[in-house]
Amino acid sequence: MLDALPDRVSVYEVSPRDGLQNEAAPIATAAKVRLIEALVRAGLTRIEVTSFVSPRWIPQLADADELLPLLSAPPGVTFSALCPNARGLERARASGLEEIAVFMSASETHNQKNTNKSTEASLRTFREVVSSALEGGMRVRAYVSTVWGCPYEGAVDPARALSITEQLLEMGCYQVSLGDTIGVGTPLQTRTLGKLFLSEFPQEKLALHLHDTRGTALANALVGLDLGFRHFDASVAGLGGCPYAPGAAGNLATEDLVYMLSGMGVETGLDLERLVEAGQVAEAVVGRRLPGKVHQAGVSSLRSA
């Protein structure tokens, strides 16, 4: 274990979208800008900033069209947004985004409840959306949710996630992020799933999107790292969860992931001190303590220890 750690891994930040989407109280667009600017200062170069899902589904992100003109991505930084359909793609295009993300679930029931579509219908929709996005020069990332388990169905056949991943990559998505949406995965399950996916697809086509609902996110990330995954989704201060998955709360905290990685000599290009600051901004934005650990322990404690 940990015999061949990589020099570098890549972190995809999801806090402004996956992190904020299930906040109950409205959050001002200006506060979202502050969070995103803090993330950029920390060195994050790939940030999912909002969603073009219907405001009826995710009221918290209804200000996407207002938010995007307020953001300017410095050179080397890519902002992306979730796009459920052709209408979302239109809005993404109008906002000048160069990257979008499409999303669906491995489990039929979760996909139905989360997107109001069958998985077949989601794939049909994405065939058009992805093709149209690519023609317009955009890059497209994809999420497959509930790969480790579904809040409605329980265990999910890995063959479903494999087949969906294959189809999303064939459509031209540059990467598929595999989600433990309800944070139910154990390291052993992560090993089994991870080996399976890495035997079918090159690592650069895959990412891990882990939730910490039962405390296992970082341990699962470690197993993924050991298996050969090099792309990890994370959310500063552990902001977030999935609004449609009962019991789901807490993404893998970016600063905790980066603390672990940098302490093992794995470079992420991120500045831990500024990530801690971004975590504090995230807490100010939502007005409460967030579960990530390193932003609470602080950087001075890292130096003294």
Q: Please list the active-site residues.
A: 242
Pick from 249, 269, 271, 280: which binds its own copies (CB under 8 A)? 249
CB of 181 to its own copies, least distance (A): 9
Nearer to its own copies, 138 or 218 (CB): 218
**Closer residue to its own copies, CB minimum distance, 6 or 59:** 6
**In angstroms, what is the minimal distance from the CB of 129 to its own copies?**
29
Q: Is 86 in the site for its own copies (CB under 8 A)?
A: no
Can you name the residues that pair with 179 across neighbouring β-strands?
A: 209
Select the span of 7-15, 41-49, 96-104, 245-253 touching its own copies (CB under 8 A): 245-253
CB 204 within 8 A of CB 170: no
**Stretch 182-201 residues interacting with its own copies (CB under 8 A):** 182-184, 186-189, 191
1 binds its own copies (CB under 8 A): yes
Sign of CA dihedral 13, 141, 27, 19: negative
Contact 253, 240 (CB under 8 A): no
Strand partners, 79: 47
Question: Is 218 a binder of its own copies (CB under 8 A)?
Answer: yes
Binding flag, residue 287, its own copies (CB under 8 A)? no
How far is it, in rounded angstroms, from Cα 219 to Cα 190? Answer: 9
The yes or no reply on residue 237 touching its own copies (CB under 8 A) is no
Q: What is the Cα–Cα distance from 133 to 98, expressed in whole angstroms?
A: 9
List the one residue from 259, 270, 275, 283 that touches its own copies (CB under 8 A).
Answer: 259
5-34 residues near its own copies, rule: CB under 8 A? 5
Residues 152 and 109: beta-carbon distance below 8 Å: yes
Neighbours of 79 (CB within 10 A): 23
**Token pair of 131 as six digits:** 């093709």
Listed ranges 30-38, 133-141, 164-172, 261-269: which one lies at the site for its own copies (CB under 8 A): 261-269
Stretch in the footprint of its own copies (CB under 8 A) among 38-46, 67-75, 118-126, 246-254: 246-254
Nearer to its own copies, 26 or 215 (CB): 215
Among 158, 228, 243, 291, binds its own copies (CB under 8 A): 291
Q: Which CB atom, from 199 or from 304, has the smaller least distance to its own copies?
A: 304
Q: How many residues bind its own copies (CB under 8 A)?
A: 50
| Listed ranges 26-34, 122-130, 147-155, 170-178: which one lies at the site for its own copies (CB under 8 A) | 147-155
**Footprint on this chain of its own copies (rule: CB under 8 A):** 1-2, 5, 149-152, 154, 182-184, 186-189, 191, 212-216, 218-219, 221-223, 226-227, 246-247, 249-250, 253, 256, 259-260, 263-265, 291-294, 296-298, 301-302, 304-305
